[in-house]
Amino acid sequence: MPELPEVETVARRLRETTRGLAIRAVEVFDPKLDHLLGEQSPLDAGILDVVRRGKFLALLLDDDRVLVMHMMMSGRILVRRVDDPPDKYLRAAFTLDGQTQIRFCDPRRFGTARVIGPDDYKGFQSRLGIEPFSRHFTTRNLTRRLEGRTVAIKTALLNQSILAGVGNIYADEALWRARLSPLLPAGKLDHRQVASLVRAVRRVLRDGLKAGGTTFGSYADADGRPGENQQNLNVFRRTGRPCPRCRTAIESEVIGSRTSHFCPRCQRR
């Protein structure tokens, strides 16, 4: 599933190419999206900005509404020209001024695109946790959010109401970098451990963004190109291969229904 670096990569490209343009026509090819996009009056509005929040992409429109999209497992958000060749699994197409088209494609159809009003957008924002690239992502704030939690730190990192945008790949990579066992109880981390986790999360996300995201299957940027960060990973999906730091074989274990990858030596409990 696309995580912060992947969604941010798409958001930046969309911002660059669509900000200031207006949505002139919407075609929906999926009944599920029809419902989400058709509830309100038809979309015919200018795009003021494109922002990312957690793993969501939001197009801020000049009629105060917001088009919120989530790629989920397999979605792609592409910027094309109207007359470009068709893309597979097209679920919705937003035609903008000057023949620019935003295409939402998704073979597995878990992705969502929804138009919401300003109040719902506020509610949506408040349900999401700290943004890792914001000044609010500090040792103090993360400690506060983890306080009293008995779940494994790995599970806490995936909780979008604690920290927004981190998923399975970057959580595993950050815990390895911080030398923390994914199984440590979240509320039991000491100051030093939380501080190194904050640094590690920022670092792995920044590296991921620099490499254009991680592609293990379907993720592609807004031009349809895969990312390159899969080449830089240290533990994720490297079970049995040597830890780049100590050469011990990487292990994997299901924690909170997600497969976690870690070095049993560097990340001792």
| Residues that bind Zn ion in the complex, under the rule CB under 5 A | 243, 245-246, 248, 263, 265-266
Structure tokens at 223: 């031009």
Cβ of 251: how many Cβ atoms within 10 Å? 17
With beta carbons less than 8 A apart as the criterion, state whether 111 and 74 touch. yes
Q: Considering the complex, what minimum distance in angstroms separates the CB of residue 175 from Zn ion?
A: 12
Which of 107, 258, 264, 265 is an active site residue?
Answer: 258
Q: Considering the complex, what minimum distance in angstroms separates the CB of residue 237 from Zn ion?
A: 16
Q: Among residues 202 and 245, whose Cβ is nearest to Zn ion?
A: 245
Sequence letter at residue 183: L
What letter does residue 232 receive in the DSSP assignment? G
Q: Among residues 164 and 266, whose Cβ is nearest to Zn ion?
A: 266
Tell me the backbone φ, ψ of residue 57, rounded to 5 degrees.
-115, 135
Annotated active-site residue 3? The verdict is yes
Annotated active-site residue 258? The verdict is yes
Tell me the backbone φ, ψ of residue 259, rounded to 5 degrees.
-70, 125
Which of 15, 55, 103, 145 is an active site residue?
Answer: 55
Q: Considering the complex, what minimum distance in angstroms separates the CB of residue 260 from Zn ion?
A: 15
Query: At 61, is the secondary structure helix, strand, or coil?
Result: strand
- Positive or negative: CA dihedral 138, 208, 3, 176: negative
Q: Among residues 206 and 245, whose Cβ is nearest to Zn ion?
A: 245
Q: Considering the complex, what minimum distance in angstroms separates the CB of residue 138 from Zn ion?
A: 28
Q: Where are the alpha helices (DSSP H) in 19-105?
A: 31-38
What letter does residue 139 receive in the DSSP assignment? H
Q: Considering the complex, what minimum distance in angstroms separates the CB of residue 234 from Zn ion?
A: 9
Q: Among residues 12 and 265, whose Cβ is nearest to Zn ion?
A: 265
- Positive or negative: CA dihedral 1, 37, 100, 57: negative
Q: Tell me how far apart the alpha carbons of residues 24 and 44 are, in angstroms, rounded to a whole number.
A: 5
Q: Among residues 14 and 243, whose Cβ is nearest to Zn ion?
A: 243
Please identify every residue annotated as catalytic: 2-3, 55, 258
